[in-house]
Amino acid sequence: MDRLSDIAIFIRVLDTGSISAAARSLGLSAAVASKRLISLEKHLGVRLLHRTTRQVSATPEGNELASQGRPLIEDLEALTTGLSQSGKEVSGTLRITAAVSFGHHYISPLLPAFLAQYPRLQVQLNLTDEKRDLINDGFDLAIRITDTLQDSALVAKKLACNRRIMCASPQYLATKGTPQKLTDLSAHQCLLLAGFHGVEDRWKLTDSQGQKHNVKVSGQLESNLGDALRDAALADLGISLHSTWHINKDIEQGRLIRVLPDYYMDTSIYAVMPQRRLVPPRVRAFIDFLQQHMDNEDWLLISL
């Protein structure tokens, strides 16, 4: 058990970025925490941390220990504290990764209420459009919008459906014309999202009758950032395919106009986690919080 406690200190150092911060969060002195880490390194016979006057970072052996040891520590934490904790008892560091646009527009605004509900919890939110390795990078969960989940080392909980629609600015449509049928898209500038699986130059659309259509599109601009494509659409550069949560206000206020309104693309919003026997209370609390808010929102399948 002492070695598990030492590993828990080591992982907290990686999460907080310093030995002193980790010690404070665990109610220890920095000297005691440092001594425990040195003892752990001697016991294992490897160096776990690179130490400088400004920061600490894991060695390759330290990264391996963190990857293999974190699930053990978190299973022990979940087992000993119970899975039905009250709000004030949920504690620790919650590490989340999400796409930039969704994280900025939806996750970030919810964090003040979430942290107020769980005052002993710390949150590290990493916004990136790169597909992070949850296990090796030490994330508790990712919020992903996709129609395919393939990694067998992960488990996923579907939070909501996510509808995407085509839109363009009034000026673009006035200049280039409004498409009347799907084949008209070939004559237009389409703004392309570069995602996990390459450039999205085939729009897999569903019509109002439920029929599926796979439409080849092209354009001068592609980006891995949804906000960049939204900005381009607002700047009259072309037709984009956006989630309703991203552009519903633009539609409502007339900055963008829905194109071919009988067609849409449906994907799903997932909470994705590393496989483990017990879900840490902080992870369960955040997923439940998100689920509650998404259940109360109407932007997911908004009728525009």
pLDDT tens digits along 219-235: 999 998 899 999 999 99
CB-based contact 304:258 (threshold 8 Å): yes
Check residue 152 and give its pLDDT: 59
State which CATH number among 3.40.190.290, 3.40.50.10190, 3.65.10.10, 1.20.120.140 fits the domain covering 93-304: 3.40.190.290
CB-based contact 182:215 (threshold 8 Å): yes
| DSSP strands (E only) in 99-238 | 121-127, 141-146, 154-168, 190-195, 198-199, 202-207, 212-216, 222-223
Tell whether the torsion through CA atoms of 113, 117, 119 and 124 is positive or negative.
negative
Pairing of strands 92-98, 263-274: unpaired
In CATH, what number does 1-82 get?
A: 1.10.10.10
Q: What does R_g of the chain's alpha carbons equal in angstroms?
A: 23
pTM to 2 decimals? 0.69
CB-based contact 269:145 (threshold 8 Å): yes
Q: Say if residue 81's pLDDT is above 60.
A: no
Confidence band, pLDDT 50/70/90 cuts, at residue 143: very high
Question: Per mean pLDDT, which of 117-121, 139-143, 258-262 is the most reliable?
Answer: 258-262
> Residue 304: helix, strand or coil by DSSP?
coil
Among residues 158, 159, 154, 178, the alpha carbon closest in space to that of 168 is found at 178
Q: Which residues of the chain are in CATH 1.10.10.10 domains?
A: 1-82
Q: Say if residue 302's pLDDT is above 70.
A: no
Check residue 2 and give its pLDDT: 75
165-176 per-position pLDDT tens digit: 999 999 999 999
Distance of CA 102 to the CA centre of its chain: 8
Length of the chain, please? 304
Q: Say if residue 185's pLDDT is above 60.
A: yes
DSSP output for 2-67: HHHHHHHHHHHHHHHSSHHHHHHHHT--HHHHHHHHHHHHHHHTS--EEE-SS-EEE-HHHHHHHH
Q: Which residues of the chain are in CATH 3.40.190.290 domains?
A: 93-304
